[in-house]
Structure 1
Amino acid sequence: MESVPRSANLPVMPPLEPMLAKAQVKVPTEAGVWSYEPKWDGFRALVFRDAGAGSDDVLLLSRSGKDLARYFPEVVQAVRAELAPRCVVDGEIVVPREIAGRTRLDWESLSQRIHPAESRVRKLSAETPAHFIGFDALAVGDRSLLAEPFRVRRRALIDAVQENTSCHVTATTEDPVLGAQWLDRFEGAGLDGVIAKRLDGPYLPGKREMVKVKHARDADCVAIGYRIHKSGDGVGSILLGLYRDDGELQMVGGAASFTAKARLSLLADLEPLRMGDDVRDGEPSRWNSAAEKRWIPVRPEKVCEVAYDQMEGNTLHGKRFRHAVKFLRWRPDRDPASCTFQQLEVPANYDLDDVLGA
């Protein structure tokens, strides 16, 4: 947890966990009960601003309690220019970019901002500036809003965001039909689902009181290698590939989180396909520098079905899984050559400006 500026004196102060969401398969439909909003795909951030007495303290806290200010200096400037002088706002830091004539969220540009070099952060903050999307107000002025229903917090949020150049208020609707439509309509702008909040619900830090509905998809991929589990026993992750139109097999991500029994079973499946004693270095992780990078390639002879929610990348052949995917089963009936990018569902293009204006 980063230290709080001594001059800060807000009615809601860190340490504070953001309110969380529990996953559901369908958007809840009880009319008059829920408020629906797009699920923004960025870095969750609690913004604390206390301007007065000759200072203007701003803290951007991640979900885990780390200060994100050094990675997003332009967001700090935007908060000082566009939010109420004294407020606590819950939201998301995102990077919008124009891609193929449309503005959409760019996860790759966002993730590059978590970099140890200040010069690199400063360069990227100018080239791909981040924005802040507010979706809840926890305090304004000297008033804590934690116990207030979301209806009240929503009105306070709109008042707290005094300009919308780089700080924005997310769209909401109380219409369950429109909320369900947003699940599909806005994915093409880089969003990854819908959030539902109870209109009469208070803000409960650390509690899974919201509902999130994300896309659920599956794909058949070629197993191209594996990493040994950190315990040394069995498979820790399976590296996955898809064939491009030119016949090249391209890595698109990995499946992980296996039980101890499954790790040993998967090792028995994959070890006979090892390509000699070859061990390769993988891509470095900016999130976990201690993670094992080396992986063992295997002959591309086994196909597995995996579940995933979203891809990232700006072209079909440049796409890869956004998150670690879930291994479902081996598919001995599938020819590895049939595992191509063409099986992936590509969402329709949608402009981010339309999402903000919904």
Structure 2
Amino acid sequence: MDLPVMPPVKPMLAKSVKTIPPGMQYEAKWDGFRAIVHRDGDELVIGSRTGKPLTRYFPELVADLLDALPDRCVVDGEIVIAHEGRLDFDRLTERIHPADSRVRMLAEQTPASFVAFDLLAIGDEALLDAPLSLRRTTLAAALAEAEPPVHLAPATTDAALAQEWFERYEGAGLDGIIAKPLDLPYRPDARLMFKIKHERTADAVVAGYRLHKSGPVVGSLLLGLYDDSGALQHVGVCAAFSMKRREELIGELEPLRMDPPDGHPWAAWAQESAHESARLPGAQSRWSGKKDLSWVALRPERVIEVAYDHMEGDRFRHTAQFRRWRPDRDPGDCTYAQLEEPVGYDLSEVLSPPGE
């Protein structure tokens, strides 16, 4: 492979802002695996956000990308998997598996798509210093004949339309809007774009905590919500406390500590079979590796208000953010029923070119 921009390349990143800024190019924020594709003739490498290759995990995309992309190019985009008309991140993570046979089986059962949104090089020309407006025009021309599962990401300079996308596209599993200055060059690993994500709040039960990697202080609080059957399901964690606050929480939560955790709703967490019928903390996965997933059980008596962006199935997609303790709330009222659900929106409509 001999391209003007060689792998590995770390993608350009975005920083969070509260509102959609004016005067930019706007795109949907895809909930998938960020990927930079290098193609030189018959050679093709799919690189991850960290620069590690993803090619072996998405074998079905290789032929499609060879068909759709220019003969020599470097394209930035997102690998996604759709299920029942919306993005499904859980099915995407299943692909990162050591067994090639399983990867190929999943490639047939739940094939992935690639959504292209930036162009780093084409032919012998590097475009890292070119403005976004030129890169976008060149990318659109290069992918004019592309067919699913390779897509050109919809983009607009109309802030009102971007706001409409922000409100509607969540129903298809997308989690916000990316805003890019039109004169922006491509700068790997730099946070020069802007992301606007959804934020909602929910009351959750604090049912345990994990220790911080630095020592005997709270690392994260384990959150639960009651389902329709009355079972407390683990839905995520709340973290990002100051070190002083982590130390204080150890003392504050000590009266609730259950040691041993007999009678705790998640007492069976260490049994692998228990995770098949309930959402419990501590399940090993291909992402956790050898990470210590042990936790301290607490009587589920305290309620916390957290902010979250969106749900992935029956859990918070990302780490929830602390807002306040709610001593006025009954833990039994912390149910899934309080969560706001976005109106459904078919992913195929998001990916359809304007006018179709």
Cα offset, 1:226, TM superposition: 1.4
Cα offset, 1:118, TM superposition: 1.2
Structure 1 CA distance for aligned equivalents of residues 235 and 126 of structure 2: 45
Cα offset, 1:328, TM superposition: 2.4
Matching of residues 104-253 of structure 1 within 5 Å: 104-161=86-143, 162-253=145-236
Residue aligning to 1:298: 298
Residue aligning to 2:264: none
Structure 2 CA distance for aligned equivalents of residues 27 and 326 of structure 1: 21
Residue aligning to 2:26: 36
Matching of residues 62-141 of structure 1 within 5 Å: 62-98=48-84, 103-141=85-123
Letter in 2 for 1:242: L
Deviations for 1:322-347, whole angstroms, at most 9, x for unmatched residues?
A: 11112222211111111111111100
Deviations for 1:202-259, whole angstroms, at most 9, x for unmatched residues?
A: 2122221111100112111001111222233121221111112222211111112332
Residue aligning to 2:276: none
Q: Is the 8 A contact 1:230 1:292 kept in 2?
A: no
1:23 to 12, 16, 28: 16
Q: Is the 8 A contact 2:305 2:322 kept in 1?
A: yes
SS in 1 for 2:255: helix
Structure 1 CA distance for aligned equivalents of residues 334 and 227 of structure 2: 9
Structure 2 CA distance for aligned equivalents of residues 295 and 312 of structure 1: 23
Give the root-mean-square deviation of aligned CA atoms: 1.4
Letter in 2 for 1:108: D
Deviations for 1:302-331, whole angstroms, at most 9, x for unmatched residues?
A: 001111111101xxxxx1011111222221
Letter in 2 for 1:65: G
Of stretches 197-206 and 334-343 in structure 1, the one that deviates more from structure 2 is: 197-206
Cα offset, 1:266, TM superposition: 1.5
Structure 2: gaps (5+ residues): 262-266, 271-281
Of stretches 259-268 and 114-123 in structure 1, the one that deviates more from structure 2 is: 259-268
Letter in 2 for 1:47: V
Structure 1 CA distance for aligned equivalents of residues 113 and 329 of structure 2: 44
Letter in 1 for 2:340: E
Identity %: 54
Cα offset, 1:299, TM superposition: 1.3
Of stretches 189-198 and 226-235 in structure 1, the one that deviates more from structure 2 is: 226-235
1:339 to 329, 334, 339: 334
Residue aligning to 1:14: 7
Q: Is the 8 A contact 1:285 1:291 kept in 2?
A: no
Residue aligning to 2:278: none
Cα offset, 1:185, TM superposition: 0.6
SS in 2 for 1:178: helix
Letter in 1 for 2:7: P
Residue aligning to 1:48: 38
Structure 2 CA distance for aligned equivalents of residues 205 and 83 of structure 1: 21
2:257 to 274, 280, 285: 274
Cα offset, 1:287, TM superposition: 1.9
Q: Is the 8 A contact 2:8 2:47 kept in 1?
A: no
Structure 1 CA distance for aligned equivalents of residues 318 and 286 of structure 2: 14
SS in 1 for 2:299: coil
Of stretches 274-283 and 112-121 in structure 1, the one that deviates more from structure 2 is: 274-283
Deviations for 1:169-208, whole angstroms, at most 9, x for unmatched residues?
A: 0001111101111111100001000011112222122221
**Aligned residues, how many?**
335
SS in 1 for 2:30: coil
Letter in 2 for 1:134: A
Letter in 2 for 1:38: A
TM normalised by structure 2 equals 0.90
Of stretches 284-293 and 218-227 in structure 1, the one that deviates more from structure 2 is: 284-293
Structure 1 CA distance for aligned equivalents of residues 291 and 242 of structure 2: 19
Letter in 2 for 1:68: L
Cα offset, 1:269, TM superposition: 2.2
Q: Is the 8 A contact 1:222 1:241 kept in 2?
A: yes
Letter in 1 for 2:304: C
Q: Is the 8 A contact 2:35 2:76 kept in 1?
A: yes
Cα offset, 1:14, TM superposition: 2.3
Of stretches 137-146 and 125-134 in structure 1, the one that deviates more from structure 2 is: 137-146
Residue aligning to 1:61: 47
1:265 to 248, 251, 254: 248
Deviations for 1:48-107, whole angstroms, at most 9, x for unmatched residues?
A: 0000xxxx1111111111000111111222111221111100000000112xxxx11111
